[in-house]
């Protein structure tokens, strides 16, 4: 989504409505090209997501985009499922924003200044955390990135 609206609420609304990405004006053409290339790479990837992933009280069926928490189904977007699955696969260490941009979004230039990761994490925490201000599942590791909470 490209728009002149760049407030956090506008970005959250756009992403909530289903946008894979959100780029407010003004933007650099190089960043736009990188984001388009990322979408194209993602669309060409083979999906290797046919196994069920379990973490604490979370159960993820990535192929069918079904996520349950405490045996209750919660609605997540494909991107949120991908983020959660990747964080669980790397649960032994913190995962930085540049790595998430590369591995989940497929961006080649991970040095872009973007709040995409932070905004998605905020949305994801609101959906899966009992208290998003004191998360138990998706932890912030200061100066490093994000990590899944201890099992």
Domain-wise residue ranges, the chain? 2-148
The Cα–Cα gap between 65 and 23 comes to 25
pTM attached to this predicted model = 0.67
Mean pLDDT across the stretch 71-94?
Answer: 92
Mean pLDDT across the stretch 139-148?
Answer: 93
Query: Residue 46 — very low, low, confident or very high, per pLDDT cuts 50/70/90?
Result: very low
| Whether residue 44 has pLDDT greater than 70 | no
Question: Which tops the pLDDT comparison, 79 or 40?
Answer: 79
* Tokens linked to 87: 């964080």
| Whether residue 75 has pLDDT greater than 90 | yes
CATH 3.40.50.10800 fits 2-148, yes or no: no
Distance of CA 6 to the CA centre of its chain: 19
Listed ranges 5-14, 46-55, 128-137; the one with the highest mean pLDDT: 128-137
Structural contact between residues 95 and 147, judged by C-beta atoms closer than 8 angstroms: yes
Phi-psi region of 131 (alpha: psi -120 to 50; beta: other; left: phi over 0): beta
């Amino acid at each position: 989504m490209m728009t002149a609206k760049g407030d956090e609420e506008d970005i959250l609304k756009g992403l909530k409505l289903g946008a894979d990405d959100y780029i407010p004006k003004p933007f650099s053409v190089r960043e736009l090209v990188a984001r388009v290339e990322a979408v194209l790479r993602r669309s060409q990837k083979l999906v290797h997501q046919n196994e069920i992933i379990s973490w604490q009280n979370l159960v993820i069926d990535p192929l069918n985009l079904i996520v349950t928490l405490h045996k209750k189904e919660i609605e997540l977007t494909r991107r949120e499922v991908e983020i959660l699955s990747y964080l669980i696969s790397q649960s032994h260490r913190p995962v930085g924003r540049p790595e998430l941009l590369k591995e989940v979004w497929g961006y080649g230039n991970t040095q872009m200044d973007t709040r995409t990761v932070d905004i998605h994490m905020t949305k994801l925490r609101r959906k899966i955390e009992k208290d998003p201000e004191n998360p138990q599942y998706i932890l912030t590791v200061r100066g490093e990135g994000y990590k899944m909470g201890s099992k």
